[in-house]
Amino acid sequence: MFSFIKKSTKNTSNDRQTANDSAQMDTALDKVLLGYHIDNKSIAPMVTSLQRQGTSVTLDLRLPADANPEKIHRELSQQLHLHGIKEVNLNVSLPSKTSAATAPQGAASKKNTGAKNTQTLPKQLPKVTDATVLPTALPAAKQSLQLGQGDSNKATAINNPNTNNEPPIAKPAPTQASLQPHPRIRHIIVVASGKGGVGKSTTTVNIALALQKLGNKVGILDADIYGPSIPTMLGVAGVKPELENQQFVPIAAHGLAMLSIGNLLDGDNTPVAWRGPKATGALMQLFGHTNWPTLDYLVIDMPPGTGDIQLTLAQRIPVTGAIIVTTPQHIALMDAQKGIEMFNKTHIPVIGVVENMALHTCSNCGHSEAIFGAGGGDTIAQRYQVPLLGQLPLASAIRAQVDKGEPSVIANGGAGDDYAKFYLDIAKNIAANIAKFAKVRDDGRIF
C-alpha cells in the first residue's frame, strides 16, 4: 500500500524540483477537470479511469448521449496544454442509440472475450500532441493495458468490444434499493455532518458503545480516510489488524469490532494524501474485505462534507439510515441541511438529528450558557420531519475521555461518567426507530 523510495544525494535539488513540478501538474489537472462542465454538470463524475505518465495523459470518460466528444477533447486539450501536458488520449463511452452495427469503421471482427459486462460502445479519440490529460489514475490503473503504436489490433478490440451486432447493455448506477443487506450485519448506520468540528467522531464512538450497553453486538468502521481518529478515541492507535484468508480481522476495542485506515498507517503523523478514487477504493476495501462478525449494528463514522466517499457509500453499501450531527450554530446548521439533502437524493433515510455542544455549564459557578446558540437541532429536525434524537452538552470531560481512549459511556471502569446518560438516551431513541428503516433481503436467501 505504501512505498518508500531511496533517493540519491547527488541530484537532490533536481529531484525535489521534479517532484514539485509533478505535484503542480496534478493540482492543475484537477482544477481543469473540476472546472470543465457539460450542460452545467462537472465532467469529474464522468471519469472512469485516469492515468498520467510525464506529460502524457490518458482519460476514460462516460459521457451523455448528446455530448460532443471531439469538442470536449479539443477544449480539454487546449486548457491542459497550458499546464505542460503535451499529449492527451481520451477513451470515450457514449450510450448507444443504435445497435453495435453502427460501430466505427475498422472494428475488430472477433468477439473480445476479455471485455465482460460492457455497458457502452467506447470510442477512442486520436492522440493530440501539445495537449493534455487529467489527474492521477485509479489504483487499478497500474494494471491497465498499455498499447504502443504497433498494437493496433489489440487497440481495435479494446476500443470496440461489442462486435457481435448486439446492442450494448445499458446498466444504470446502483442505488440503495438495488443493494442487498450484508449477510452478517443487521443494520448499517452512518454518522455524518455537513462540516468538520462538530464532534461527529466523539458522538460516533459513544453512540456505538451505548448501543452495545443496550445488549447489541456492535462494530464501528472509520470511513474518515483523510482524518482517522477512531483508533485514538477507542485506545487502539498503533494496533494492526490481522489478516485471515485475505481478509482483515476487525480489532477488538472495548467489545466493539472496529477497523480504520488509521490502524494501517505507520504513525499518527502519516498523511493520507490520496485523490478521490483511491480514497473511495480504500473505503470499499475496509468494508468489503473485512471478516465482520455477526452484528446488530455497524456504525460508520463518515468524513465531513458531501463528496466522493459519501457518494460511493450511497451506491455500494446497504445503509439502513443516517444520523446527522450538528451544533446549534447557524453555519453548522446550513451544512447539516446539505448533508440531509444529499441523503434524501441518494435514498438513504435520516434516522434523526443529534445536537452537540447544545449547552455549557460552568464547573466553577454552575452558570449555564448556550455558547453556540439554542434550538438549532430542534429547528432542523422539524423542518425535515425527522426526530431530534438528543442534545449533548459542551463539556471538557467528554473531550478528555476520548483523548485517553476511554469514552464517556465506558469511563470509570465501565460505569460511565456524568454524560454517559445522554448517549444512552440517544441509543434508546435509535433502537426505538430503527425497525421501520430495516432493509429486507429479497433474493430468496434465508441466511
403 or 162: which leads in pLDDT:
403
Q: Does residue 364 surpass a pLDDT of 80?
A: no
Distance CA 403, CA 41 (A): 42
> What does each C-alpha distance from 58 to 28, 108, 140, 308, 418 come to in angstroms?
15, 22, 14, 21, 58
Mean pLDDT lowest among 7-16, 181-190, 223-232: 7-16
pLDDT of residue 313: 87
User: Which of 87-91, 187-191, 226-230 is the most confident on average?
Assistant: 187-191
The predicted model gives 170-182 an average pLDDT of: 77
According to CATH, where is 3.40.50.300 located in the chain? 184-437
pLDDT bucket at 117, cuts 50 / 70 / 90: very low
pLDDT of residue 141: 34
H helices then E strands: how many in the chain?
A: 11, 19
pTM beyond 0.75: the answer is no
User: Which of 62-71, 123-132, 304-313, 383-392 is the most confident on average?
Assistant: 383-392
Query: 186-212 pLDDT, tens per residue?
Result: 999 999 987 778 889 999 999 999 999
pLDDT bucket at 411, cuts 50 / 70 / 90: very high
pLDDT bucket at 108, cuts 50 / 70 / 90: very low
pLDDT of residue 29: 80
Stretch (H or E) spanning 270: none
User: Which of 145-154, 156-165, 300-309 is the most confident on average?
Assistant: 300-309
The predicted model gives 30-42 an average pLDDT of: 82
Distance CA 360, CA 328 (A): 12
Distance CA 302, CA 296 (A): 19
For the chain, what percent of residues have pLDDT higher than 90? 30
Under 8 Å CB-to-CB from 187, ≥6 apart: which residues? 296, 297, 298, 320, 321, 434, 437, 438
pLDDT of residue 57: 85
pLDDT bucket at 379, cuts 50 / 70 / 90: confident
pLDDT of residue 159: 44
Q: Which cell numbers hold the place of 413? A: 471502569
Contact 430, 323 (CB under 8 A): yes
pLDDT of residue 109: 37
The predicted model gives 202-223 an average pLDDT of: 96
Q: Does residue 176 surpass a pLDDT of 70?
A: yes
pLDDT of residue 2: 34
Q: Which fold has domain 184-437?
A: Rossmann fold (3.40.50)
Distance CA 347, CA 303 (A): 19
Q: Does residue 399 surpass a pLDDT of 60?
A: yes
DSSP code per residue over 295-326: EEEEEEEPPSSSSHHHHHHHHHS---EEEEEE
pLDDT of residue 204: 96
The predicted model gives 333-354 an average pLDDT of: 89
The predicted model gives 389-414 an average pLDDT of: 92
Q: At what angle do helices 200-213 and 420-433 cross, to 10 degrees?
A: 70
Q: Does residue 166 surpass a pLDDT of 60?
A: no
DSSP code per residue over 195-247: SSSS-HHHHHHHHHHHHHHTT--EEEEE--SSS--HHHHTT-TTPPPEEETTE
pLDDT bucket at 163, cuts 50 / 70 / 90: very low
Kindly report the average pLDDT of the chain as a whole number. Answer: 77
Residue 99: DSSP 8-state:
-
Mean pLDDT lowest among 5-9, 164-168, 290-294: 5-9
Q: What SS3 state is found at 342?
A: helix
The predicted model gives 139-153 an average pLDDT of: 36
